Structure 1
């Protein structure tokens, strides 16, 4: 343990001076974040976490409490009042963890008030803290296969605050509050752990691992139609049941603050108290010498209201926290498990430059069949794929199916199966659910599969059964199922298994989720699919990097639509096939090219090879973040641009013309996030000699473009 508040004055001065220097630098962390290194140091009665972009200051006496949370880029302070560091409910009684009392005003906070505050004698009291480098959370090893990660895990500093309670029955219960501050981003994470060092079991009914009193960003006297939120993005790794952080959120709540009686809202209803907590549970029994760890909350401070900049900040956060999401293999979705057809598809992938075959839904793959015959068949196919340098894996469905009354989720209101997110669904915390995960592990181990496409991963269902083996009842059912599925996903990452899951499990090991589309739209005529698909890409890359989302191409029929909706026969629809590949690979977004083959003639093969070679040539910039130029509307040109200041190709601009006439005009291209400041060299369609352009003071260039009717063009920017 580090001695409380022990640090020399000289070291304190050095830290303060070094961080003053960093804060005064003009480096934009979205372009160059290398100078922003995380540090933890003591300053008087406080421990300070800072990296030049964000500062969190925790007063350590008479109890620990956050007294400053500041955006160092804008100077904005994110606190108006002081709250406990956490809350825990043990054996039905709720206790504050840390915190200071005595404030008479909760609309603003003056520094001189803090020294006069007192500890809540009923709260857990701060004892000491430790400071150490961040440890990796998931044992994923970075390699050169299909990914652009610069590191295998996020780096920075972690501090752990220890709290104890004076009550005799809690004397041997320790609560630890963990903070991580990261190198290179205005980002902090927080979670709690609880240790039971007593001789009796305790029940953790609930907890809050973050409580922050934010200043309100508006002053509505009456209740507005929609409340404004503070300039911060908050999410946790307890996320499921959605394709986005907001739709998968189950922990981040903006509540009313009853202490804030000086607010302008007449009914004191401003939701200006952020709490990170479970809606129900975990209702976890903690045995003697056992410990419990909460989910992790991530807090990203934003420095403006510009949509592109704020979404870029989130994308940088995912690249930092979940570097496995930068893996982006080129794959096809094969609709057959016939050995001859699988071998043929593997051969076509090898010949065209594809890197992975996923045995799709409807292919006949059953990974729950662990018989020797089934294992042998798919091991032989995997061995053949590996001999050709191709990865092989497949699809398994968990949710949205009925197993039995004994296994399925029980509805709390009816006491009967049903009421799940997808109607009927199995409960993972059953003997069947445990066996299901073990069968998948066995199948993957024995066959050598490289990929799991896990459809209907645990979507957040509660289960009211009291007879299931791995949960006690309704209150602990969600938590226990989440723990089971995320432990499985961690296992997959340790095994280097690529994971597609139509759900927001990125922070727990998922590589890719759907980019966001309506499945039946792939039964529409081909021409509509192309523009709608480009809209899906444009919209789906605001809060996802290109590699985080998949899209779809129905080589064969999917959700109906007949011959007007499919690319097959491929050689008859080369224009549509090319259009899909151009916009998908041009965006760096992989698609489920779903069918039985990638080509049917030499001409088709040439088209596929050309597109894959082009993508691989520019892979690094095409997998870089997208700057949104103009959304597709069918009436004029649309486009997007990749930007990466850290490589030689700083930008890659894609422009599309969905009209029947050539478009010839001058457009403004925003180059700020390319890192180019004065002069850009821009070449069209890979021409060796580019033209020089001077940037204006908005970091734009005016570019004359000619886009053929119903076609596209592209530019490389250096």
Structure 2
């Protein structure tokens, strides 16, 4: 396609006619021209008229021309990233349009590589005299970095799915899009005189309706020989610090104040929280920042996104390499609830499978009779999934044809009753043998890993294990995997394992192994419970956060602690992203005082647990041989399942934290959704032995309602209330002794 068509194609792109270099008969020719692009409004000239967390329909991602023809802008009406194209491509602005905050204080390369032992910056300018802030007039005296590869052009496209996803629509109460709509911008960098035949593409995506960018690299080797990629950095941003610390404790910079939240799909670490599962996102001191307040110049205000090891891999002639992706969420507030809402919205968008929220049971025995009983009871009360739990005898690693046939028969039986069936497998926190375990680089022997001993995913055992998992699901038709002890980021110094060469490539290769398997599961519709932060690689659900030994405590204490766990676990996670746990039989001791079985004898407690969980939109692993033992017990279980399914859309929506459980007064939360008929649903719990009446202020701002709202009480009464200017309304709630109540909020 002639390059003279570039501006015409770009203009059509912005009118909704997208030309993809992948789908087209001919590739789109990269261009450095901004002709034909609409002009961007002057920064600060206008602010969004709507709150994107309530109505984001205005926020469509687009590519614009900046103040000059050499400026290119990614903009969605909420945030903006501005690039200078000449003398070399570089980011010169990162701004939140709602607050007017500028995040960028200094220019850096767009990415960094080390190929064949040589450091290679991509883009960027040099010569900035002061690094506290960046002014347009400074750019006139800043030349291109002579050591950088030059940007030779850019192309535009629509966003594309990171990998295929086969959704279970019956478990999703709200419409989700995959891929998330938006625009993609790709810069091509080359240096034919230094590395002929190599093109590095730096990709950016900006999504509709949310202040969120993504970024990653592709290295294409069109030369006639392999190249060695030692290291890379997807992103390096000199970010304005949120606070000044003169003393040497500047390294203790409080990330809660930082209004740019950065995370990656290169995520692992044995954690159920994002901030401890992001090894590639590193906040460092900036050695060039001589004029910072920190006396030791240790303020961590230089963002670098790079793997801790390697990847230390060869890219063969004619092949390509793709990096992990980094995601940058620009906050407009340091207020915890609003930041949490933005974070949860980002995960709903980037990993829409987390919106799948099936009601599930852990059956304690995997023999056919026990599994069929569990399936039958689940079907009777409205549960949707059965997992053959740890210790049940389920063996996903069995290659016995008879065993696989039996599992297929059970999966078919469950499928006839619309119940998904699967089981548990332990991966990392065990030892295989010295030939297949991870080798500690300090001792040159197994041991010393995140969970002590751990198999290397790239050992021969690891290769066989993942092949067997695929074989099991292909042969049996099961559709659930609970994958415990998932890869936690261990390194391995072995030089004899078939899937990696040594220490430096061991983390990258093991991450690739687990990521590729989880993405395959997503394409096959296999539901994934994984107790680690693998959402962006394809997992559905992680632990909400709890201590297992607490289920040995007296039952009445468990109720309060459970609500604390849910309250604390839903700041970063949506309700559907975290599982809780209800051991129906004795678990970690505690005797009769801690145990729910026999269920009919402890029905008030069992109902409290059901009300806690379904009232939060949180699914638990109900672990035991059965869900009910009498008709009365069955009726209680079904009542709360029906409650959840009747209000599934609002209960799966965002959760606003009202009051944390402390056992001394009421506690509760409020679900909100400005796009549903039921705009809100509040749950109130009473841990005391006497009825309580309370005036409770409901923060209705995020329901999108103004002026008036109608409150529907659990007892059938309704009341119209006025909504104050701060978005709140006060109601009078009666909460029964050691019980709960709820109210539904609709528009007037």
Q: Secondary structure at the match of 2:300?
A: coil
Q: Residue 465 of structure 1: which of 494, 500, 524 is its match? A: 494
The reply on whether 1:53 has 2:81 as its aligned counterpart is no
Given candidates 606, 609, 618, the residue that maps to 2:638 is 609
Equivalences, count: 712
Residue in 2 aligned with 1:572? 601
- Determine the structure 2 residue equivalent to 1:79: 104
In 1, distance between residues paired with 2:137 and 2:62? 25
Stretch of structure 1 that moved more, 306-315 or 367-376: 367-376
Give the deviation of 1:3 after TM superposition.
Answer: 5.7
Please tell me whether residue 6 in structure 1 is matched to residue 6 in structure 2: no
Whether the aligned pair in 2 keeps the contact of 1:149 and 1:326 (CA below 8 Å) is: no
Q: Would you say 1:29 and 2:52 are equivalent positions?
A: yes
2:743 aligned partner: 715
Partner of 1:440: 469
**1:157 Cα shift?**
0.5
1:698 to 699, 712, 726: 726
Match of 2:215 in 1: 190
Native 8 Å contact 1:621 1:651 kept in 2: yes
Q: Deviations over 1:623-648 (max 9, x none)?
A: 11100000001111111010001011
Equivalent pair of 1:141/1:152 in contact (CA under 8 Å): no
CA distance in structure 2 between the aligned counterparts of 1:708 and 1:625, rounded to whole angstroms: 26
Residue 540 of structure 1, aligned match among 540, 555, 569: 569
Equivalent of 2:436 in 384, 407, 418: 407
Secondary structure (helix, strand or coil) at the match of 1:311 reads: helix
* Residue of structure 2 in register with 1:88 after alignment: 113
What CA RMSD, in Å, does the superposition of the two structures yield over aligned residues?
Answer: 1.5
8 Å contact kept, 1:315–1:544: yes
For residue 475 of structure 1, the aligned residue among 483, 494, 504 is 504
Query: How far apart in 2 are the matches of 1:190 and 1:20?
Result: 25
Match of 1:151 among 177, 194, 204: 177
Q: Which shifted more, 192-201 or 572-581?
A: 192-201
After superposition, the C-alpha distances for 1:578-626 in whole angstroms (9 at most, x for unaligned) are 0100010000000000000001111111111111111111111111110
**Maintained 8 Å contact 1:686/1:716:** no
2: CA distance between counterparts of 1:450 and 1:4? 46
What is residue 332 of structure 2 aligned with on the other side?
303
Partner of 2:135: 110
**Of 228, 234, 243, the match for 2:254:** 228
Q: State whether residues 644 and 650 of structure 1, in contact with CA within 8 Å, keep that contact through their aligned partners in structure 2.
A: yes
1:331-346 aligned within 5 A: 331-346=360-375
1:203 to partner: Cα distance: 1.4
The SS at the match of 1:12 is coil
In structure 2, list runs of 5 or more residues that go unmatched: 1-27
Q: How does 1:670-685 map to 2 (within 5 A)?
A: 670-685=699-714
Q: Give TM-score scaled by structure 1 length.
A: 0.97
Conserved 8 A contact 2:120-2:149 = yes
Give 1:642-661 correspondences, 5 Å limit: 642-661=671-690
Mapped pair 1:123 → 2:148 = yes
The alpha carbon displacement at 1:476 in A equals: 0.5
Answer whether contact 2:83 2:93 (CA < 8 A) is retained: yes
Structure 1 CA distance, aligned partners of 2:586 and 2:163? 39
Three-state SS of the structure 1 residue aligned to 2:180 is coil
Deviation, 1:80, is 0.7
Q: Deviations over 1:32-74 (max 9, x none)?
A: 1111000013332011100001100111111110000001110
After superposition, give the CA deviation of every residue in 1:177-205 in whole Å (9 maximum; x if it has no partner): 11000011000001111112222222111
State the alpha-carbon separation in 2 of the partners of residues 34 and 686 from structure 1.
37
Matched, 1:173 2:198: yes
Question: CA deviation digits over 1:509-556, x for unaligned, max 9?
Answer: 100000001111122221111111110000001100000000010101
How far did residue 167 of structure 1 move?
Answer: 3.9
**Alignment pair present for 1:664 and 2:693:** yes
Match of 2:311 among 282, 301, 306: 282
What residue in structure 2 maps to residue 200 of structure 1?
225
Alpha-carbon distance change, 220 to 16 in structure 1, aligned in 2, over 3 angstroms: closer
1:276-308 CA distances to partner (integer Å, 9 max, x unpaired)?
111111111111111111110000000011100
The Cα shift of 1:16 comes to 4.1
Paired residues for 1:55-70 under 5 Å: 55-70=80-95
Whether the 8 Å CA contact 1:57–1:69 is kept in 2: the answer is: yes
Pick aligned residue for 2:454 from 412, 425, 434:
425
Q: TM-score, normalised by structure 2?
A: 0.93
SS of alignment partner, residue 498 of structure 2: coil
Contact kept in structure 2, 1:334 and 1:597, CA below 8 Å: yes
Equivalent-residue separation in structure 1 for 2:49 and 2:722 (angstroms): 22
* Separation of aligned partners in 1, 2:35 and 2:70: 13
Partner of 2:122: 97
Determine the C-alpha separation between the residues in 1 that align with 2:55 and 2:399.
50
8 Å CA contact retained: 2:192, 2:198: no
Q: In structure 1, what is the equivalent of residue 581 of structure 2? A: 552
Q: Give the Cα–Cα distance (whole angstroms) in 2 for the partners of residues 696 and 59 of structure 1.
A: 46
1:321 matched to which residue of 2?
350
The equivalent of 1:636 in structure 2 is: 665
User: What is the CA-CA distance between 1:166 and the residue it aligns to?
Assistant: 4.6
> Take 1:143 and 1:585, find their aligned partners in 2: how far apart are those partners?
20
Give distance in 1, aligned partners of 2:364 and 2:179: 35
SS in 2 for 1:224: helix
Question: Residues 343 and 228 from structure 1, CA distance in 2 versus in 1: closer, same or farther, beyond 3 angstroms?
Answer: closer
Cα distance between partner residues in 2 of 1:579 and 1:285: 57
Distance in 2 of aligned mates of 1:413 and 1:95: 31
Aligned-pair distance for 1:7?
Answer: 4.2
